[in-house]
């Protein structure tokens, strides 16, 4: 099975969610099901059906997170030598040559990506174009509206 890259922070976040699901949500749902069963007829018991549905969602998410963690390869960018080369986990400042705008992104795993937080997936078009390049390099990125040229201003291993 193919290993999926993940940052240390991404792994910690998934482990925290998994722990919450197992120690808080799962016991609460089990208690809700037990309480609903005490009300009698299960065929017409909306509380019972709602609790069972919530249990299904919680157990599904637990299995999904466990699968992601088992297939993950955790990469600690802070432990890497700072060579100025763009790799998974680095924070990169890009200068758009066409619009003269500067933007900073961190390259992360698929589950961690959030453009609002300036985190982009390693599989995104921008990340694919800049991974392996170095500070000062210019790269051509295919975007929905055509193409954009970026210059890599700074690569940080933070």
Residues of the chain with pLDDT under 70: 1
Q: How far apart are CA 121 and CA 152, in angstroms?
A: 17
Are 138 and 97 in contact by the 8 Å Cβ rule? The answer is: yes
| pLDDT score, position 38 | 84
| pLDDT score, position 1 | 66
pTM of the model: 0.81
Residue 141: closest CA among 117, 118, 124, 120: 124
Q: How far apart are CA 4 and CA 22, in angstroms?
A: 24
| pLDDT score, position 2 | 81
| pLDDT score, position 53 | 94
What 75-84 contacts at long range (C-beta under 8 Å, 24+ apart), as own/partner pairs, is 75/5, 75/6, 75/7, 75/8, 76/7, 76/8, 77/7, 77/157, 77/158, 78/8, 78/157, 78/158, 80/157, 82/155, 82/156, 82/157, 83/134, 84/134, 84/135, 84/155
Q: How far apart are CA 58 and CA 36, in angstroms?
A: 18
The full set of domains in the chain, from first to last, is 4-75 (1.10.287.180), 77-156 (3.10.50.30)
| pLDDT score, position 36 | 85
pLDDT digits (tens, 9 = 90+) for 51-64: 999 999 999 999 99
| pLDDT score, position 152 | 94
């Amino acid at each position: 099975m193919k290993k999926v890259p993940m940052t240390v922070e991404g792994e910690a976040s998934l482990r925290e969610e998994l722990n919450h699901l197992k120690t808080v949500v799962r016991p609460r749902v089990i208690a809700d099901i037990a309480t609903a069963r005490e009300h009698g007829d299960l065929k017409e018991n909306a509380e019972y059906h709602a609790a069972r549905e919530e249990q299904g969602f919680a157990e599904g998410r637990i299995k999904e997170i466990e699968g992601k963690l088992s297939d993950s390869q955790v990469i600690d960018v802070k432990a890497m030598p700072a060579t100025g080369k763009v790799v998974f986990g680095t924070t990169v400042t890009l200068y758009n040559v066409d619009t003269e705008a500067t933007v900073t992104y961190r390259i992360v795993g698929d589950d961690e990506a959030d453009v609002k937080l300036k985190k982009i997936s390693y599989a995104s078009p921008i990340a694919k174009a800049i991974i392996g390049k170095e500070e000062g390099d210019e790269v051509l990125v295919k975007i929905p509206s055509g193409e954009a040229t970026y210059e890599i201003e700074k690569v940080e291993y933070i």
